[in-house]
Amino acid sequence: TTPPSSDTASFLRCLAADLPPQVVYTNASESYTSVLESSIRNLLFVTPSTPTPVAIIAAADASHVQAAVRCGARHGVRVRPRSGGHDYEGLSYRSLRSSASATAHPFAVVDLAAPAIRGVRVDAARRTAWAGSGATLGELYYAIANRSLRLAFPGGLGPTVGLGGHLSGGGFGLLLRKHGLAADHVTDAVVVNADGDILDRAAMGEDLFWAIRGGGGGSFGVVLLWKLRLVPVPATVTVFTVHRPRNQSATTLLTKWQRVAPTLPRDAFLRVVLQKEDAQFECLYLGARAGLVATMAGRFPELGVTTEDAIEMTWIEAVLYFAFYGVGKPREMLLDRGAGPERFFKAKSDYVSEPVPSHAWERAWRWLAMDGVAGLIILDPYGGRMGAVAPAATPFPHRRELYSVQYYGFWFENGTEVAEKHLGWIRGMHREMEPYVSKNPRGAYVNYRDLDLGVNHGEDDDDGVAGYEKARVWGEAYFRGNFERLAAVKAKVDPHDFFRNEQSIPPLRSSQ
Ligand code: FDA
């Protein structure tokens, strides 16, 4: 059960022979650290003891990705794709030691953020776009708005998130109830597989095309390009943000919100962000102010939304509004890819199938109000289009839930003890909510990657191939009944588990 023998020196020689020197960064390169950290978001994984890549290939052409994969396969060095670097557990640029003493298996990063390969091409007439994986959501939204203010893409809120990881894990934002997941709108893709071959949808076949649209990043190949179907939006949309304090009405409102938000008309997306003693209700409505105010008055009068709360704007202005909280922000802010890691954070997720009782919300409030910790609980309603898509249509299975929950804790001070305190807090809050959320198994969202659910351990390997049974624990939390099909696809396209990380899909072997 030893991992495939890796020969880092030969791997680096292979890269040097097949790639232009300016795209390969090793420990010996002056800018290795700045390239490595360029898109890292979580300070937890910027430590001297974090296992880092033996090389970063900043691909400027598809052939560079092919060469990196082929050199890696030949010399036993696995490749991790990195698009926006936002993975919550840093799996696109770090690995885990299996135990304190063991050294990590060497790996390389193929970074897809170079301008030469991250372009976005919008065809407004056909309502489609081709986008490189390394493009951010902000760059995509900006490119769409430059062509038409009546087109949009139903992706996430964070403008610095990379398309590669986002689409690989499903991806959702404020258009979810009207249009479903971001991955639901992928109509073609270009992938470099474990043999280093380039495949489009026709060449890869429908099984692999199914798997890459939600089966989680880093398991099936390096996706270079995505063809996206854009969606129409009205010229005017309306937003509001209202705050309701815990000690007044928040718990009653939350309890009602659970029944109302998933059953509102599809044009209305009403989420809640809980922080300390405050419930922030945020809404995007695909229509004019009068429609939103009337909908709220009819369906959720207790929230007390007034005409003054509602602000009309274009869809792209709403993107800026929710990304940066304010009106009148310049659109160019969407092009800012961020300036490296700035905080420590840990997140966990849940799905809710039955309304949570109000006494459970009171317990959640107690966690949020604790001294010395900072965090959020974010509730995103489903229903609408989500409920109309079959749970097996894509790998993302949680279509029929009422809403999703994200617990997010963050801090700024360095140190193991500080980290343990914050990690303990977020885990405690998650434990507290267990009786009230989805079960058998408790669900989670793969794009909110959480290694507490379990990992592929080197020592469980069969010849360097991750074990299926062990992986089911977290695999079925993310993918439920779709996990087995993902593992079957993996066995077909990457039987030797070249594209592997701590939570990649293991190949389903015939004996299993
Ligand atoms: P990164 O490059 O770290 O990749 C993530 C995973 O995918 C890694 O395993 C990586 O190896 C793999 N991967 C990356 N590129 C690949 C490629 N081209 N081919 C194959 N595999 C690839 N989510 C959401 O649904 N809605 C939201 O609104 C937000 N908002 C948000 C804000 C912020 C600030 C953060 C940090 C995160 C979010 N997310 C989110 C979660 C986000 O969707 C998730 O972290 C994505 O996987 C990030 O994709 P990146 O390409 O940035 O990450």
Task: Give 74-132 pLDDT, tens digit per residue.
Answer: 999 999 999 999 999 999 999 987 655 566 789 999 999 999 999 999 999 999 999 99
**Residue 53 CA: distances (Å) to CA of 79, 109, 398, 483:** 9, 6, 34, 28
Which of 153, 166, 449 has most ligand 1 atoms within 8 Å of its beta carbon, as the pocket-test mutant?
166
Has residue 341 got a pLDDT over 70? Answer: yes
CB of 323 within 6 A of ligand 1: the answer is no
Q: What whole-number distance in Å separates Cα of residue 437 and Cα of residue 383?
A: 17
> How many angstroms does the Cα of residue 217 sit away from the middle of ligand 1?
8
* For range 443-460, the mean pLDDT: 89
In this predicted structure, what is the pLDDT of residue 510? 75
In this predicted structure, what is the pLDDT of residue 3? 45
The CA-based angle 217-504-429, given to 5 degrees, is 85
> How many angstroms does the Cα of residue 292 sit away from the middle of ligand 1?
32
Has residue 392 got a pLDDT over 60? Answer: yes
Has residue 402 got a pLDDT over 70? Answer: yes
281 beta partners: 242, 272
CB of 80 within 6 A of ligand 1: the answer is yes
> How many angstroms does the Cα of residue 166 sit away from the middle of ligand 1?
4
Nearest-atom index, ligand 1, CA of 88: 45
CB of 445 within 6 A of ligand 1: the answer is no
pTM of the model: 0.97
Q: 139-179: per-residue pLDDT in tens?
A: 999 999 999 999 999 999 999 999 999 999 999 999 999 99
Q: 31-75: per-residue pLDDT in tens?
A: 999 999 999 999 999 988 899 999 999 999 999 999 999 999 999
> How many angstroms does the Cα of residue 449 sit away from the middle of ligand 1?
9
Which of 35, 209, 447, 498 has most ligand 1 atoms within 8 Å of its beta carbon, as the pocket-test mutant?
447
Has residue 251 got a pLDDT over 90? Answer: yes
In this predicted structure, what is the pLDDT of residue 245? 95
Q: What whole-number distance in Å separates Cα of residue 315 and Cα of residue 191?
A: 31
- Cβ atoms within 10 A of the Cβ of 146, count? 13
In this predicted structure, what is the pLDDT of residue 101? 53
* Residue 467 vs residue 283, higher pLDDT: 283
Instruction: Find the radius of gyration of the CA atoms of the chain.
Output: 22
In this predicted structure, what is the pLDDT of residue 339? 79
ipTM surpasses cut 0.85: yes
* Residue 77 vs residue 340, higher pLDDT: 77
> How many angstroms does the Cα of residue 138 sit away from the middle of ligand 1?
13
In this predicted structure, what is the pLDDT of residue 2? 39
Nearest-atom index, ligand 1, CA of 216: 7
**Average pLDDT, rounded, for the chain:** 95
CB of 218 within 6 A of ligand 1: the answer is yes
Q: What whole-number distance in Å separates Cα of residue 181 and Cα of residue 173?
A: 8
> How many angstroms does the Cα of residue 182 sit away from the middle of ligand 1?
12
> How many angstroms does the Cα of residue 240 sit away from the middle of ligand 1?
27
> How many angstroms does the Cα of residue 161 sit away from the middle of ligand 1?
6
